[in-house]
């Protein structure tokens, strides 16, 4: 069995007292003072680059000349696209989050709030910075879905994605996805250098990998922050060159983690696949070419839907 990451003294001392490398020690995590009264709906400054993703509509038609035209993209379809990424439509909770400078924003884009007959709601149940303005584009007694039409302008639009003909474009073309807010402080992520990772010596199916980890009182790795992703990238480059399972499976349209925490995903190739492409997910690595002057060793490129029976993927277990 191999290990990833340096064991800090606290972990090492505990492991010495246990027999064999299959023994497990889990750090007890106490909330730092600033999170002693953690509120999932509180105003947090989420600057993690893996926490957000801008996705574009693929609802286009092509005429006989090869010209493409964007069609209306509904709020519901946009939400499904986010859920297929292990995310949901973003809800802005403060001005910092709204104006944080999303990388490559594409306006207008959907967000996770709407107004139904004047009653406001959000996809995560938390108060939003500003409710959709239903009366601007649609009547008071109908439904309006949240949309951002300009850098700091939250608005409302018809939930089918159509906009006034005077607007350019006159359909909603994109959506901003966000990793759901953690239900407890334990899911905010921890220092990955204080976490022990165990990898299998041979590839195995997703089910076998899940059992492999459970037999060692561990769980399949669930990446909670961009910092942890970068740490695993570094370890992969230095010590490993094999794809490994991520602890999540697709249930319907949503990726469900093997733990109580939501994971963050660095999807390769844009849109994640559907069950036809595999209902499990694995991290993809490639070995850098000798002519590549920018990187060397194994490069952790991202994650991709993978058939759960895939026999070329290794187990990577995490001991919190």
What are the tens digits of pLDDT across the range 94-118?
777 887 756 778 889 999 999 887 7
Distance in angstroms (rounded) separating the CA atoms of residues 60 and 73: 9
- pLDDT given for residue 17 in this prediction: 30
- The pTM score is 0.83
10 Å CB burial of residue 81 (0-12, 13-18, 19+) is buried
Band of pLDDT at residue 272, cut at 50, 70 and 90:
low
In contact, 317 and 201? CB cutoff 8 Å: no
Tokens 């400078």 sit at which residue? 101
61-95: pLDDT as tens digits: 888 888 888 889 999 999 999 999 999 999 988 77
- Average pLDDT on 7-23 reads 29
pLDDT tier at 316, thresholds 50, 70, 90: very high
Question: Other CB atoms closer than 10 Å to residue 124's CB: what's the count?
Answer: 19
DSSP E strand stretches across 26-101? 52-56, 60-62, 68-70, 88-89
Task: Output DSSP code: residue 100.
Answer: S
Q: Which pLDDT score is estimated for 214?
A: 97
Helix, strand, coil tally for the chain in percent (to 5): 20, 30, 50
CA atoms within 13 A on the CB side of 250: 24
Q: Token pair for residue 69?
A: 């035209």
- Spell out the domains of the chain, with CATH numbers in brackets: 2-33+184-319 (3.10.100.10), 52-178 (3.10.100.10)
């Amino acid at each position: 069995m191999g290990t990833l990451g340096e064991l800090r003294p606290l972990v090492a001392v505990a492991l010495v007292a246990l027999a064999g490398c299959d023994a497990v020690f889990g750090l007890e995590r106490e909330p730092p003072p600033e999170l002693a009264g953690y509120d999932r709906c509180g105003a947090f400054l989420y600057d993690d680059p893996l926490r957000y993703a801008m996705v574009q509509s693929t609802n286009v038609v092509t005429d006989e000349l090869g010209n493409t035209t964007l069609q209306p993209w509904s709020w519901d379809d946009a939400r499904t696209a986010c859920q297929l990424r292990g995310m949901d439509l973003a809800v802005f909770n403060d001005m910092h989050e709204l104006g944080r400078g999303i990388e490559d924003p594409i306006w207008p884009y959907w967000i996770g709030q709407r107004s139904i007959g004047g009653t406001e709601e959000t996809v995560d149940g938390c108060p939003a910075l500003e409710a959709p303005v239903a009366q601007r584009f649609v009547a008071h007694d109908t439904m309006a879905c949240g949309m951002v039409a300009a850098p700091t302008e939250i608005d409302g639009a018809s939930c089918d994605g159509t906009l006034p003909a005077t607007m350019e474009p006159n359909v909603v073309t994109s959506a901003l996805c966000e990793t759901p807010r953690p239900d407890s402080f334990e899911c905010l992520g921890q220092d990955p250098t204080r976490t022990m990772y165990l990898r299998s010596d041979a590839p195995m199916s997703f089910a076998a990998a899940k059992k492999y980890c459970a037999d060692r009182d561990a769980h399949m790795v669930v990446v909670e922050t961009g910092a942890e992703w970068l740490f695993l990238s570094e370890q992969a480059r230095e010590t490993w060159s094999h794809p490994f399972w991520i602890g999540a499976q697709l249930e319907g349209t949503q990726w469900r983690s093997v733990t109580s925490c939501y994971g963050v995903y660095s999807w390769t190739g844009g849109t994640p696949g559907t069950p036809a492409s595999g209902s499990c997910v694995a991290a993809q690595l490639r070995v850098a070419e000798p002519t590549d002057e920018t990187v060397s060793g194994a490069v952790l490129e991202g994650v991709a839907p993978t058939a759960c029976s895939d026999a070329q993927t290794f187990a990577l277990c995490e001991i919190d």
